[in-house]
Amino acid sequence: MHSGAPEGTVTGEPASREKTRQRVIEAAIGLLEREGREAVTTRAVAAAAGLQPPAIYRLFGDKEGLLDAVAEHGFQAFLATKHGAPEPEDPIEGLRAGWDLAVEFAVDNPALYTLMYSEPSRATSAAFRTGMRVLEERVHRLALGGWLRVDEDLAVQIIHAMGRGAALTWLSLPEEARNPALLATLRDAMTNAVTEPEPAVRGSGPAGAARALRAALPEQTALSGAERQLLREWLDRLS
């Protein structure tokens, strides 16, 4: 039975509304990729999606709301590539593979990637935060193996900043000026900035980490003698 809703309107059923919303997002992405961000107007997107312009406002509030939804869609798509890729057993290779995956997504989706990462406000995206947790888990694996040369929070910030900056720099260059050595060199620089050449910990579990820390304890000057003694006792138990 026909719903009776005029062509180009948004019906109230959740499934129909979500389907229309997705159609609008896909239309916006198409315009973004073909003609750039300036082409993504509410009127142009509505026409591409087969809707009247007021429908865009009902679905997204305004143009910025639409762009936020497009960016969120991009973060979800990027997150899906992370979940689909097998995690290498070697945590260093996992770090490099994650970098390559991010760069590949940027190269394949230049306009979408630029929209996603060129504005700090996009960091509130739920899918963005989930993606960052994937990175945090990867960094934690490095920490457990004794590979990190900086603390975990700083490592996450360095990896994210260098990957984001590398991709945006690459996309900003004219195609004839894009040298693949740039990305390879930056990836090596990122790896060297956050990891040690050899792991401080051999084997899984807390014992190896405790032994590594206990070995370095005499060199620590930030602790008092009593604090070093107490920490040594705790490390002895763990190891």
User: In this predicted model, what pLDDT tens digit does every residue of 21-77 receive, in sequence order?
Assistant: 999 999 999 999 999 989 999 999 999 999 999 999 999 999 999 999 999 999 999
In the chain, pLDDT over 70 holds for what percent of residues? 87
Q: What's the average model confidence in pLDDT over 1-27? A: 71
> Mean pLDDT of all residues in the chain?
86
What's the whole-number mean pLDDT along residues 90-116? 93
d(CA 232, CA 239): 10
Alpha-carbon span 113 to 173, nearest angstrom: 15
Q: Determine the 3-state secondary structure of 147 from DSSP.
A: coil
pLDDT, residue 125, reads: 82
pLDDT of 49 reads 94
End-to-end CA distance of the chain: 72
- Alpha carbon 84 to chain centroid, angstroms: 14
Contact 102, 163 (CB under 8 A): yes
> Is pLDDT above 80 for 108?
yes
Owner of token pair 């620590």? 220
Question: pLDDT band for position 6 (50/70/90)?
Answer: very low
Q: How confident is the model at residue 179 (pLDDT cuts 50, 70, 90)?
A: very high
Q: What is the pLDDT of residue 7?
A: 46
For residues 153 and 83, the model is more confident at 153
Residues 96 and 191 sit within 8 Å (Cβ to Cβ) = yes
> What is the distance between the alpha carbons of residues 188 and 181, in angstroms, rounded to a whole number?
10
CA 190 to chain centre: 15
Task: Over range 89-106, report the average pLDDT.
Answer: 92
Where is average pLDDT lowest: 72-81, 164-173, 210-219?
210-219
- For the four alpha carbons of 95, 116, 59 and 65, in that order, the dihedral sign comes to positive
Cα 49 versus chain centre, distance: 29
Are the beta carbons of 43 and 53 closer than 8 angstroms? Answer: yes
Neighbour count for residue 196 (Cβ, 10 Å):
14
pLDDT at 211: 63
**pLDDT mean over 89-93:** 89
Whether 5 shows a pLDDT value over 50: the answer reads no
Phi/psi of residue 119, each to 5°?
-125, 125
pTM over 0.85: no
